[in-house]
Chains A and B, each alone.
Chain A
Amino acid sequence: MRLSHISYSNLKRRRGKTLFSVASLAMGVAVFVALQAISGTLQSDLAHQLDQYGANLLIVPKSDSLSLSYGGITVGQVGLGQQQISIDSLVKIGEIHDADSISAVSPKVVGAASTQIGDVLVVGVDFAQEFSLKKWWNLTGRRPSGPSEVILGSEVASKLAKAPADAFQLGGTQVSVAGILAETGSQDDQAIFLELSEAQTLLNMPGQLSLIEIAALCTTCPIEEIAAQLSQAIPVARVTPLKEAVATREAMTERLATFATAISVLVIIISSLVVLTTVMSSVNDRTREIGILRAIGFRQSHVAKIILIEAVIVGLLGGVTGTLLGYLGYNAGINILAADAASGLSLELIFWPIVVAVGLAVFASTPGVIKATRLEPVEALRVL
């Protein structure tokens, strides 16, 4: 017979208390696993969504003349009508090392063209890429289907008094309104959008681009690294990572992680206190038994080992059960939240909670161990 047999037999005899300890620890571990996994998945999901939600990189020509602001963001020094980015740059963007992380590339030419109300900001875009980049665009009408069709920003539409299917003169060319944007609160409200090649002709900028907006999926890659690769690929351009978007994403995901960790730690502390109380109560109940063992020659270390082995068994059972329950909770939670990102469960999230559960059970048993080993045999027995 080994000391572990005594531990095991005691746990078996005290099924109720053992189950209570295991259940308490399992609950803590389950909450920890579920919250951490859900938080991981939501972070990944959120990052994924934010990555797709607008551009996080801007490529503009290197210049030292005029300042250009677009979308409320100052993108650098750009000389309109001066040095422009060649449309060939789009090919180079597709050749950078982290090209797979780029979800949308939206090239633009920006300029002014005359209308019945005077000069208006004209933006030439690749509509497919632009709609992919600006998922918040709410269109009345339809997307343009031909080179002479345009989309009007809400303010321009109002000033031009145009509705979908209306036609008007833009820089001497007849265009028709395919759709009108709902108010965005950005500079898009004051712009007329038309097909890139058409805008290049209209603005007399053949083969040139004013800027390129890029959405990079940077859940697993640093945005600065992609910016550096783009700078190297297009030396004439200045690549600006939109740190605000990245910082927002990081702040949101960090807040989520902090919340999940705080709740997990709280539940784990409560579970540990329950285990501590149960072990102390168990030691109190077993005072006489410990006295018997000490009287027949068990050393303090023997008694300590018996209680610690019990803690390890409870910790293992609680850890494994908790991880399984946590996994089930995670699945249920993720179904409710309908997150579709990659699973937040990892091997670490299975292995470490079990190790932590055992560690906590041992830690929570320490006061009980100290109390048990300090019991004087004769006082414990109270019979001699």
Chain B
Amino acid sequence: MSTLVKAQQISKVYQTGSVTTTALQEVDLSVSKGEYLSIMGPSGSGKSTLLSIIGGLCQPTQGLLEVDGFNVYDLPGEKLADYRREYIGFVFQQFQLIPYLTALENVMLPLVAAGRTEKEQVAAAIEVLEKVGLKDKVHRLPSQLSGGEQERVAISRAIVNKPPLILADEPTGALDSQTTEEILELLAQLHAEGQTIIVITHNPTVADSADRVIRIIDGKIVD
């Protein structure tokens, strides 16, 4: 399989006043198209920093990140926003839905930014919400949905633009075990359809559902 993500010698150093914190040290990582990768590690190990660098949210202090063959951080200005919209589907901790928009509207958001017509937005959003089993709740606000349902909306929003890569940060961190299983099934289904997924988790069950698991400790990949 061809490589989708290629990180070379990625380091990230945070400077807060006179305090220097090294979040990542010369990390090398390669993710193939269609791969389901899980990243584990204790809090503060740098796994979230790695995810944000791959997602175009945080420029590394040094190193090279190539996605689909181009250097992400060579992109000028607002092109980085376009990269996030076209290449990445984020699933955040705590769902991170916009509270005053309905499930349908939350899912439509990436398509709004992409400049799709209203008709296209609704059709695409309904399609993915049906896929995650929320057809009957599309007009509900996040506050009217359960945790599992909100997570499904978050996943729908991540995939509605059909991005090559899904980045999920503790996608089941706020869910009970039964809902966790349902979400894992959903991710597995997406993976089966050829979706490339990178998941950060503390949960071994979640990690085990992936094709490959890597561990990060103190900013370094240890296995």
Per DSSP, chain A at the interface is helix
Nearest Cβ on chain A to B15's Cβ, whole angstroms: 14
B94 near A10: Cβ-Cβ < 8 Å: no
Tell whether A297 is near chain B: CB-to-CB under 8 Å: yes
B109 near A378: Cβ-Cβ < 8 Å: no
Among A160-168, A179-187, A286-294, the one that faces the other chain is A286-294
B169 near A297: Cβ-Cβ < 8 Å: no
Q: Which of B94, B100, B157 contacts A296 (CB 8 A)?
A: B157
Number of A-B residue pairs with CB-CB distance less than 8 Å in the complex they form: 90
Cα(A288)–Cα(B93), bound, Å: 12
A300 near B112: Cβ-Cβ < 8 Å: no
Tell whether B85 is near chain A: CB-to-CB under 8 Å: yes
| Chain A residue at minimum C-beta to C-beta distance from B57 | A378
Binary interface profile of B, 79-106, with partner A (CB < 8 Å = 1, else 0)?
0011011101010111010111100010
B110 near A9: Cβ-Cβ < 8 Å: no
Tell whether A381 is near chain B: CB-to-CB under 8 Å: yes
| Chain A residue at minimum C-beta to C-beta distance from B110 | A296
Cα(A376)–Cα(B96), bound, Å: 16
Cα(A224)–Cα(B8), bound, Å: 87
Residues of B128-177 at the interface with A, using a CB-CB cut-off of 8 Å, are 157, 161, 169
B121 near A1: Cβ-Cβ < 8 Å: yes
Cα(A178)–Cα(B126), bound, Å: 98
Residues on A with beta carbons closer than 8 Å to the beta carbon of B55: 295, 384
Interface residues on A, range: 20 to 34
Tell whether A134 is near chain B: CB-to-CB under 8 Å: no
B51 near A296: Cβ-Cβ < 8 Å: no
| Chain A residue at minimum C-beta to C-beta distance from B97 | A292
Residues of B48-62 at the interface with A, using a CB-CB cut-off of 8 Å, are 48-49, 51-52, 55, 57-58
Q: Which of B51, B84, B101, B113 contacts A9 (CB 8 A)?
A: B101
- A–B pairs, 22, beta carbons within 8 Å: A1-B108, A1-B121, A5-B105, A6-B112, A9-B100, A292-B92, A292-B98, A296-B84, A296-B85, A296-B90, A296-B113, A297-B88, A298-B81, A298-B85, A298-B109, A302-B113, A377-B57, A377-B84, A378-B57, A383-B93, A384-B51, A384-B169
